[in-house]
Structure 1
């Protein structure tokens, strides 16, 4: 019925001879709707004529106008919030014989009341006369961060005073509890004040030479008149000039090649260290070794067979084909076969580690029965379909990851477009795959979206869009999980609305943004967000109307139960899509920004783009692709020094990053 209404509305819009609608006003209640995350709200509407009277025969339909990953609205106006942000809703009034009347209302979805407050640093030991600014963040019971003005208070102002900005002043020896309150929630930090017996303050190393982006850790030692160390004090660090950053833990990173002064303050005492940074010098030339343009459909994921000679390339935007490639001569990749399926998108493809089998995903099939296709690779150049899996995932599978564990066998971890759940299939018998588990974030279904999966060492790293990064034990043992019994280890959620407020300012509310992909490397997980504005610039066409945004964050998981963001990369133009890490290099499909590679060696802190860490960049737009001269780089697979780069608009690129040129005359 609803589909018929929309078709009818479209038909009316195509008939300019139809008279204007008699509807002069569409009154929606509530007029400025606000809803807490994970709650529901009923919108109501009245169609009124110029005299303010109800229009007879008017049919009112509600429909989403953006923000589809953040919430839902049905045809009768019931809104269900799946996160925070803004859900635009169109109200369509259909009156027979006239044009449709339209009205737009924006439903603000906000965090619930403050349920907890975190104060940092968690404990402090100050000397009399010292000042230290505390930081507080409030969260709802669902874990959404809030913007609250905090009420600061000290249990003993004669020992430690605190002002309205959270700045603590140590007054006299003793102990006090400093509290940050937000509504009914509060957070506490224990403050110990000791007498100022400091005679000398030392900072080590006193001098240091490094490169831009290297992390230099400083240690501060306070000594009394007898030279004995006074332990546990909390210094305050600063750096000059400002082209760098230093944390409360004394970890310094500089962004420019120059001299810096790092200062440690402890009340009236200070100590300085001199740091000299040279250029990182990791930039290298890149060579385009080979190309395989695709013009019939857009290009989706690429994957290499373990033999290194064959590759598989998906298609999208109506694509029903998975291309099978021979890349034994990287300069001349050729198509050897193809797999045609009832689908409009082959988004993801992966082989088993031994190369005997392959899976690819399906989205948009004509019979609305999507799922997973499983093929035998007895001949890697000519795959043969042996089974499909659709049960419970017929709404579409966006991503799938094969993981082999000698204790538990071979499993496929796949996403469910319909429910946002993770499904786990046993693939020990590929001709008869069977589901062994499902897992989803404990929250309402509206707006839940699982976008990608990475499994390493028995841990699954789930890119859960509004729910951030979710880490599950699927055989690691840290929580006793197995593939058939996944167990939550930890979650890292962040404020997407605040992070991308400039994107909303450009294109309006209801834009696309969420945790898109994750990759574990050493003690870090690299997570990248997919971000697109809700609307293009007015009057824009072609490439100017289609650009991406986004940030890659570096999440420290050295304590897997407490992930924390320590560094980031955000391009000046373009987005951040799929990543691949090989050795100490991170390769990225940066959408409009093309193909990029970065040095991720050593400890990572701060703004990676400012640290001269980019190794190579190739703009993957040309005149032979599906969309001419417009890069939309999807991702990359790396093998034997070659980067196999799939561009959504322009097909496959094979790129080699060259070694550093030797000095002297060339």
Structure 2
């Protein structure tokens, strides 16, 4: 996390120091294609428009540090799409410093591909369908081009400028979409028979809010013969919810809904009734360990003992060991003090004999990881450092063991954005097994977190979205020493968080921060902070986190797709933990949250009333007074161990749902 106060201080430009001189920057409205470079130039001119001798100019990035960089001489290195604010500083001997702010827009490259989501291959006469194109650059960045449509046989298939397709007569035609040099085609057959009847049957007539209800559709011609291979259009009323192109309906509010399927000139309706999901439960804080000397970072539990490990930030330089055998009175038993600035991540080996924690800001640049033995888990003892190629810092680690390959540490390299895979089969003598990174400029590459399950690594790659690697699963022949790409889910962060830029200005922080695989879903959470605080405000009023948790369907792991999402009504999303059918979350300003993820997931999970528990982890006696900044959570035996950056460790229990009160019958 980067403070918005720091970014704001860098980005605030002051007026020109002298009315007789002005600072000119060119180009005046700088634009560069993402992953390319641009040279900014600046000069100080006097009142007559002549250059001022002796003036020295330098360029300083004032935001957007994950998306690009700028050299002091004005060379912009774009690593991703976005906007990078730049402060131009001019110094003239004997005069006050002059500054000017410019905003470099980093835009997608030319259109290189167009894809169609849910485009039909068969239609019936009279049917209408809207095409939904996605235009991307060669780097996979989303563009906003207006696609030009045409039909090879307008008498059979007509298509409007807006992509509305109409089946006019039986036959075949090819629809073509063009944007710049990118094209897409879709062959469509209009079947001979008109639909004479349409029947619609729901998978359930009674369900809860958030349940996914699917419908079977039976279309027949005038002779009663089934018409196959065609898909209807869908709608519903009244109320709030979502229905997908495949007919999966999810309602957000209790009540009666009428779902309609339309095919050609025929339509059919079905009625479904939804009751409130009713999953809200009380919570009890059963234990607290306040920390006020430094910020609190990651928490981890020993796999077999009642022991927690807790990191520090803000120059804390230490990792605490905590006895949690009495949950009501956690006790610090020891600590390891290292030159780290922040202990951002902690994890033990599966057998609990060793542990690893990260260095991200060591004053001597000897970052990397620290390895300790756990012969006495209450008193870890350092046995090794590993710094090879990791001077830029390590943000996250993940320890994973495979029978075939043994135990490895998967870690992030802050300096290069690469994943380093460390052979940990001899725990106090680690060695590099492999290094892998996405193919983009260093200026825009950032790997933030790693989750490994079933031989697949799920990488939260900031500007590159979710990247899945085979590191032993076998699907692509990968291994820890030879990771192989399985798939990627990349999305438009700038568009998704445009309201954050509107409120706090360009150059804000946004990226894919963490991922967790559960069943056929990967939950990915974005870390989002505004570029500047609220003007005139301070403390908790000055700013807030934002962010969305997306539910990515990986049932077809080669084609990940987002199907649902969750955003707290205030605050952001950070680290998550899944246990059973519950997802637990550290939501920064929004405190600790837990919500129901049972069943199939579609649409807005908060609107469906899936939230179960909320605890505001603000503390008047905290490191930052009366403000929550919940980092994450680890769950074991029904207890949530919640780490708050400003307020230390919380141990929370979700209580059983209260029994409904019986209504007394008065005779």
TM-score (norm. length: structure 1): 0.96
Q: Does 1:402 align with 2:376?
A: no
The unaligned stretches of length 5 or more in structure 2 are 1-8
CA distance in 1, matches of 2:249, 2:229: 20
Q: Is 1:633 aligned with 2:630?
A: yes
* Conservation of the 8 A alpha-carbon contact between 1:241 and 1:260: yes
Given that residues 29 and 43 in structure 1 are in contact (C-alpha distance below 8 angstroms), is that contact kept between their aligned partners in structure 2?
A: yes
Alignment of 1:111 onto 2:108: yes
CA contact (8 A) 1:22 1:98 kept: no
Which of 74, 78, 93 lines up with 1:77 in the alignment?
Answer: 74
Which secondary structure state, in structure 2, belongs to the residue aligned with residue 498 of structure 1? Answer: helix
Cα deviations by residue, 1:575-626 (Å, 9 ceiling, x for unpaired): 0000000000000000000000000000000000100100100000011210
Aligned to 1:189: 186
1:142 aligns with 2:139: yes
Which whole-Å deviations, capped at 9, do the CAs of 1:335-357 have from their partners, x for residues lacking one?
A: 00011001211100000110000
Q: For residues 618-642 of structure 1, what are the alpha-carbon distances to aligned partners after superposition, in whole Å with 9 as ceiling and x for unaligned? A: 0000112101110000000000000
Is 1:664 the counterpart of 2:667? The answer is no
Picking from 556, 572, 575, the partner of 2:572 is 575
Q: Are positions 1:557 and 2:557 aligned together?
A: no
**What is the Cα deviation at residue 316 of structure 1?**
0.6
Give 1:665 shift: 6.7
In structure 1, C-alpha distance between the alignment counterparts of 2:89 and 2:204, rounded to whole Å = 69
Shift of 1:550: 0.3
**Aligned mates of 1:463, 1:485 — CA distance in 2:** 19
Checking the alignment, whether the CA contact within 8 Å between 1:206 and 1:273 is kept in structure 2 is no
| Alignment-derived partner of residue 387 in structure 2 | 390
Note the alpha carbon deviations across 1:424-471, whole angstroms, 9 max, x for none: 100111111000100000111112100000000100000000010000
Corresponding residue to 2:537 among 540, 547, 555: 540
The counterpart of 1:375, out of the listed 364, 372, 376, is: 372
Tell me if the contact between 1:345 and 1:364 (Cα under 8 Å) persists in the aligned partners.
yes
Are residue 200 (structure 1) and residue 185 (structure 2) matched? Answer: no
Aligned position for 1:6: none
- Which residue number in structure 2 is paired with residue 3 of structure 1? none
CA–CA distance in 2 between the matches of 1:443 and 1:242?
44
Give the equivalent residue in structure 1 for 2:5.
Answer: none
1:156 is matched with: 153
Secondary structure, aligned partner of 1:467 = coil
1:21/1:95 contact within 8 Å kept: no
Q: Deviations over 1:76-127 (max 9, x none)?
A: 1110111101011111111233221101111100000000101232433111
Name segments (4+ residues, structure 1) moved above 6 Å. Answer: none
Matched-pair contact (CA < 8 Å) for 2:203–2:213: no
**Contact 1:119–1:188 (Cα < 8 Å) also in 2:** no
In the alignment, is the contact (CA less than 8 A) between 2:476 and 2:485 conserved in 1?
yes
Q: Does the residue aligned with 1:611 lie in a helix, a strand or coil?
A: coil
Say which of 578, 584, 588 aligns to 2:585. Answer: 588
> Are residues 1:171 and 2:174 paired?
no
What root-mean-square deviation, in Å, do the aligned CA atoms of Structure 1 and Structure 2 show?
1.6
Which residues of 2 match residues 72-471 of structure 1 at below 5 A? 72-205=69-202, 208-471=205-468
Output the CA distance in 1 between the equivalents of 2:363 and 2:195: 77
| Structure 1: distance between partners of 2:89 and 2:577 | 45
Q: Does 1:607 align with 2:595?
A: no
Change (3 A) 1:299 1:96: same
- Work out the CA distance in 1 between the residues paired with 2:218 and 2:356: 58
Mapped to 2, the partners of 1:116 and 1:206 lie a distance apart of: 37
- CA shift, 1:361, in A, is 0.3
C-alpha distance in 2 between matches for 1:23 and 1:181 = 53
Q: Which moved more, 1:577-586 or 1:226-235?
A: 226-235
In the TM superposition, residue 206 of structure 1 has moved relative to its aligned partner by 8.2
Deviation at 1:556? 0.3
Give the Å deviation of 1:21.
4.9
Residue pair 1:300, 1:648 contacting (<8 A) in 2 also: yes
Q: C-alpha separation between the residues in 2 aligned to 1:603 and 1:21?
A: 64
Match for residue 506 of structure 2? 509
Matched residue of 1:502: which SS? helix
Contact 1:238 1:262 in 2 (8 A): yes
Please tell me whether the aligned partners of residues 68 and 79 of structure 2 are also in contact (alpha carbons under 8 angstroms): yes
Contact persistence 1:23–1:55 (CA under 8 A): no
1:609 alignment partner, SS class: coil
- Do the aligned residues in 2 keep the contact of 1:159 with 1:174 (CA within 8 Å)? yes
Q: Secondary structure at the match of 1:531?
A: strand
Answer whether contact 1:454 1:518 (CA < 8 A) is retained. yes
Corresponding residue number in structure 1 for 2:618: 621
Residues 364-383 of structure 1: CA distance to partner in whole angstroms, max 9, x if unpaired? 11111111000001100000
The answer to whether the 8 Å contact 2:631/2:643 transfers is yes
C-alpha spacing 1:384/1:23, structure 2 compared with 1 (3 Å) = farther
Look up the SS of the partner of 2:607 in the other structure.
helix
